[in-house]
Amino acid sequence: MSFFPRPAMATEPASPPRQFYAGRDLARAQTIGDLRAMAMRRLPRFSAEYLEGGAEEEITMRRNRAAFDAHVFKPRVIRDVSQRDLSKTVLGRKRALPFAIGPTGFNGLLWDQGDHVLARAAAKAGIPFSQSTTSNRSVEAFGDIPNLAHWFQLYLFGDDTIFPQIIAAADRAQCEALIVTVDSPVLGNREWDRRNYRLGLDLSWSAKFNMLMHPGWMARILKNGFPPFPNLEPFIPQQDRNLFGVARWCAKHHRSAISWQNIATIRKLWPRKLIIKGVQHEDDLRMSIDAGADGVVLSNHGGRQLDRAVAPVELIAPARAVAGPDFTILVDSGFRRGTEIVQALALGADAVLLGRATLYGLAAGGEAGVSRAIEILAAEIDRTIGMLGLTSIEELDHRVFA
């Protein structure tokens, strides 16, 4: 499997060969695809594979991308679109843009202090940042970022004594929303990722050698050792509080049994917005609504869990029909373009969560890279809205489609 994006297909046999920009100048990145190429060049193989890979044949990942082709636009013309408003109300607050940074673990492997870097870029852009349970920074260590909309993602590990303590920490940190991820009762089968390890989660010799060939990454990431996992460390024995020890602990304490009773408990413990992430079936959507959730994320975890799963973009319109107009529907998995975000909103989503798109920016160039990813997507949305003949994101609905 090649990490490096192949040159995009030319439209005609005689067209010139094409390739993504993979240099170092963020300003020259035209698309999220360019940031991806830059990231793949900078990262050692094991870290690039963790970021990039999906489960098994990666059919879900491909479907996530292909599903966008099911809808095409039918634009309106001869209208004044000189002023365009990209802001969107999500979970009761006006956001500058109709997307947020979704929760991803181990961000410290992509850039030094990756979680804080993502959060800073999100706050500057006026969009929410979601922090993962398996992030490399304490949930309480974001207070120095002005205007941060801080969402916290919860994985349930171990027995019923652990998650209430994590929720209490997120509450103390005044996180605006709690996102409970429920699509991982069994860990996704990421074979490409595992090939970088020997048994027991030790990096293989070839992965170690490959790491040595990325001295820039090593100098930046490993200057203080592998990144820590402060939100889980209180529950992990002292001797295992390191990258691979934590990964082993997570695997050992992974929970294959989550009940709606657990969700009811979480609802009681959590005083602010509650979102269930990883809903794909309409019955689970109904049960989320009945459980008192404020919203769901339609998600297949970016193709990293069940292979051959439906693409969330295919679920938006039926989910909206079930949930009615007021329930919050977020969606993720496969979003790399502003046009795709516009599509999701027109189908009935409130906003899109970004996984890899902003992580490519992070790995390509830290905070400036994340900001560049956000800027690229915002410009694409702005252009799309204008060409559709609209002046505001809030005007989007199914009538934009052919």
Stretch that binds ligand FMN, among 96-104, 168-176, 205-213, 343-351 (CB under 6 A): 96-104
Single out the residue of 33, 114, 188, 302 in contact with ligand FMN (rule: CB under 6 A).
302
Does position 71 bind ligand FMN by CB under 6 A? no
Stretch that binds ligand FMN, among 1-9, 30-38, 88-96, 333-341 (CB under 6 A): 333-341
Stretch that binds ligand FMN, among 192-200, 211-219, 295-303, 384-392 (CB under 6 A): 295-303
Q: Which residues contact 162 (CB under 8 A, 6 or more apart)?
A: 156, 235, 253
Strands (E) located in 293-349:
295-298, 328-331
Identify any residues that bridge with 180 across adjacent strands, giving them in sequence order.
Answer: 154, 276
48 touches 3 (CB < 8 A): yes
Single out the residue of 31, 47, 104, 328 in contact with ligand FMN (rule: CB under 6 A).
104
Stretch that binds ligand FMN, among 97-105, 191-199, 217-225, 279-287 (CB under 6 A): 97-105
The structure tokens listed for 27 are 């300003």
Q: Which is nearer to ligand FMN, 110 or 346 (CB)?
A: 110
Single out the residue of 33, 98, 103, 348 in contact with ligand FMN (rule: CB under 6 A).
103
Does position 299 bind ligand FMN by CB under 6 A? yes
Helix/strand/coil (H/E/C) assignment for every residue in 36-83: HHHHHHHCCHHHHHHHHCCCCCCHHHHHHHHHHHHCCECCCCCCCCCC
**Burial of 215: CB neighbours in 10 Å, binned 0-12, 13-18, 19+:** exposed
Q: Which string of x and - marks every residue 353-382 that binds ligand FMN (by CB under 6 A)?
A: -xxxx-------------------------
Distances (CA, A) of 203 to 120, 186, 193, 196, 212: 31, 23, 11, 6, 12
CB of 333 to ligand FMN, least distance (A): 4
Q: Which is nearer to ligand FMN, 134 or 280 (CB)?
A: 134
Binding to ligand FMN (CB under 6 A) within 122-141 occurs at 132, 134
Does position 51 bind ligand FMN by CB under 6 A? yes
Single out the residue of 60, 113, 136, 181 in contact with ligand FMN (rule: CB under 6 A).
181
Does position 328 bind ligand FMN by CB under 6 A? no
Alpha-carbon gap, residue 116 to 110, rounded angstroms: 12
Which one of the listed residues 71, 150, 214, 301 is annotated catalytic?
301
Stretch that binds ligand FMN, among 11-19, 81-89, 253-261, 352-360 (CB under 6 A): 352-360
CB of 176 to ligand FMN, least distance (A): 17
The structure tokens listed for 203 are 């990096």
CB of 126 to ligand FMN, least distance (A): 20
The alpha-helical segments, DSSP class H, found in 153-242 are 162-172, 191-194, 205-212, 215-221
Helix (H, G, I), strand (E, B) or coil at 24: coil
Q: Which residues contact 140 (CB under 8 A, 6 or more apart)?
A: 169, 172, 173
The tally of CA atoms less than 13 A away on the side-chain side of residue 204 is 15
150 is catalytic: no
Interface residues with ligand FMN (CB under 6 A) are: 50-51, 64, 102-105, 132, 134, 153, 181, 277, 299, 301-302, 304, 332-335, 354-357
Which residues are designated catalytic? 301
